[in-house]
Structure 1
C-alpha cells in the first residue's frame, strides 16, 4: 500500500506494446519495481511536488527520441546533452533517479534500464498523490544519443491545434492529449510562462479576456514583483492527483494559455466537461494514456544499452 486509497485500473495492453512486458524483470530482478517504489515513496514524503517533476521528466524524455532516458545524460566537455535545451532547464528529480539506480545496481547489476526507472517512478508518484495505480509493461533499453538540437516540445502558449500536431506525431490522439494535460492537476509554472496573459495579451494592453479577472488580480500580486515566481496550475488541490484541474479551466481559471483553450476549443470542450464531472473516468483514461506515452519509440531487445550510470553512456568496448 502506497499510503493513499486508489483504484486499480486494469485494461488490455494494446498490441503496440507487444515488445514490452508486464513483470519483465520477474526472473532477472524480482525486486526491481519495489525498489523504485520505495525510493519514490521516501522522496514523496519529503517533497510531494516530486509527482509533477516525474511526470514532466517522463513526458520530456518520451517526446524526444522516444522513452530512452536520453534526458538523464549530463553534458560533457565535447558533447552537450538534452539537459541544456531550454525546455529542459527546469526539469528536476534527477538525483532521485540516481538513488533508485544505485539501489538497483547494488541488487541486480546492469539489469534495469534508466528508461524503465523513469516510467516506474512516474507511475508510483501518481499513485502516492492519490491517482490511479496501474500496471506498466517494462523492458525498455536506454538510448545512445542525447542531443539538445533534438528537443522540440510544445510551449504553454501554443494553440490546441498546434499542440495536437506534436502529439499526433507521437501517435497520441486528441482525447489522449487532453487526458495527459490533466497531469497539470499537480503541476506548477513560473510566471514568465504566462505573464503575457496578465497585462498585455497579444499586444492588446489588457489581460487575456478568457481568464477570470479575480485570478488575474491574484496572479499579478505574485508575478509582478518576480517573473520567476512559481504558481500552482490547480489552485485548490495542488498536490492531489484528481480531476479538479478540469473544473478550474471550465471556470476560466486556467493558468497556461493552452490549458484554458482546452475548455474553450470546440474539439476538446466536451472531453474537458466529461472529465470535470467524472473523476474515475479521468483517472482510468489517464492510466491508459500514460501506458501509451511510455511506449513511444522504445528500444527493446538488443537495441540501445542498460546504463551503469543514468547520467553517462556506458564506455565503448
Structure 2
C-alpha cells in the first residue's frame, strides 16, 4: 500500500514539473525571455573594434552599452553646453566606448614606434588647456597658436592628432572631436609611460572644439619655466589648482620630459663648473650639464636621468638632492608652499600614492574650460565614405 502511495505521489510531482517546464517555455517564446537574456549578456559584453586591420577586445568601459547604434543615428546635442563640464550629448554610449578605445589604442601604437610623440602629446595637452581664458578645445591646433614660438616643437603634433582622429573615425564610423582626440592621446601618453588610467582615473570624452573661425588663445599666458613659483601658483590657481596639485603636476610631468640647455644655462658656470651660479645646484650635476651643453645651446637634456622614460617620483627625489634641472623646479623644492609636497612624494608612502594622485590631477587638467562659449557642437557625426 505504501509503495503504491509513494509511486502515485512521485507521478504527481513529475507531472507538475512537466507542466511548469511547459509554462516556462511558453514564456520564453515571448519577449520577456529574450529581454532577460539580453540583460544578462550585457553584463559580460566585450566591445570589439577594428584598428589597422586587427581585431582588438576593449573590455567593459564606463559608457558601455549592449545596444548597437544605427549607422544613420546620431545624438541630439545639448543646445547649450556647461563650461567646465563633460558634454554627454556629443556621442551615443556605444560610440563613446568605441572611440575611447580606438583613440588610446591608436595613439599608443604610434607612441611605441616613436616615444618622442608620447612626451609631445603630454605637452600638447598642457598647451591646449592652460592658456588664460581658453581651455581644452583643440585651439592649440589653430594656425595662430601654432605660429607662436612656444609651440615650435609641437607643430608635428598637428598631423599626429589628425591621423589619430582619422583612424579612430574609421574604426568606429564616428568622428571624435579634436579636443577629445588630444585629451585621450594625453591619457595614452601617461599609460605609455607606465601609469594605469583604467585603475586610477575616470576619464571620459565629451569636449567640443573651438569655433572653426577662432584664431586661438595666447600661448604667452601659459605658465612658463622662467616664471617664479608665485606666478606659476597664481596662474594655475586661477584655473582651480591647489599648490599641491601644481607641484605634483609640474614635477611629475617633468619626470619624462627634456629641456634645452638655454633654459638652464644661467645656473651654470662654464669656466668653473663646480661653482655654479645657482649655488643650490649640486656641483657634480652642474659639471655634467656643462659638458653636455658645451656643443650647442639647444641640446636637449632629460629632466630625470635615472628613469627618463617612466612617470615616477625619481625626479622629485633629484630635486631634493639639489639636482633639479630648471630653476623653477628647484624653487618648488625650496618654497614653503610646495616643499612639503616634494618631500611627501619623494618618500616611501608618497611614492606609493603618486600614480593615482598624478592621474587625478592630469584628468582634472583635461577638463579646464571645456565646452566654453567659444566652442561649438560637431558639424559631422557619422563617418561617411
1:275 aligns with: 345
TM-score between the two structures when normalised by the length of structure 1: 0.82
Question: Could you say what the CA RMSD is over the residues aligned between the two structures, in angstroms?
Answer: 2.7
Deviation at 1:107, TM superposition (A): 4.0
Larger RCO: Structure 1 or Structure 2 (Cα < 8 Å, ≥ 6 residues apart)?
A: 1
Deviation at 1:95, TM superposition (A): 2.6
Give the number of the structure whose residues are more often helix, by fraction.
Answer: 2
Q: Is the 8 A contact 1:233 1:255 kept in 2?
A: yes
- Counterparts of 2:93 and 2:353, CA distance in 1: 31
Max Rg structure: 2
2:244 aligns with: 175
Select which of 266, 274, 290 maps to 2:362. 290
Aligned residues, how many? 285
CA shift digits 1:84-124 (9 cap, x unpaired): 11221122433321211111333456641111111111111
Q: Report the 3-state secondary structure (helix = DSSP H, G, I; strand = E; otherwise coil) of the residue aligned with 2:371.
A: coil
- Counterparts of 2:220 and 2:174, CA distance in 1: 28
Structure 2 alignment gaps of length 5 or more: 1-61, 63-81, 381-385
Change (3 A) 1:59 1:149: closer
- Any residues of structure 2 matched to 1:52-71 within 5 Å, and which? 52-64=119-131, 65-71=134-140
- Counterparts of 1:24 and 1:300, CA distance in 2: 18
Deviation at 1:302, TM superposition (A): 11
2:99 aligns with: 32
Q: Report the 3-state secondary structure (helix = DSSP H, G, I; strand = E; otherwise coil) of the residue aligned with 1:89.
A: helix
1:158 aligns with: 227
1:313 aligns with: none
Select which of 171, 176, 186 maps to 1:122. 186
Change (3 A) 1:148 1:217: same
1:226 aligns with: 296
Deviation at 1:150, TM superposition (A): 5.4
1:42 aligns with: 109
1:112 aligns with: 176
Confirm whether residue 192 of structure 1 aligns to residue 267 of structure 2: no
2:215 aligns with: 146
Deviation at 1:224, TM superposition (A): 2.3
Q: Report the 3-state secondary structure (helix = DSSP H, G, I; strand = E; otherwise coil) of the residue aligned with 2:259.
A: strand
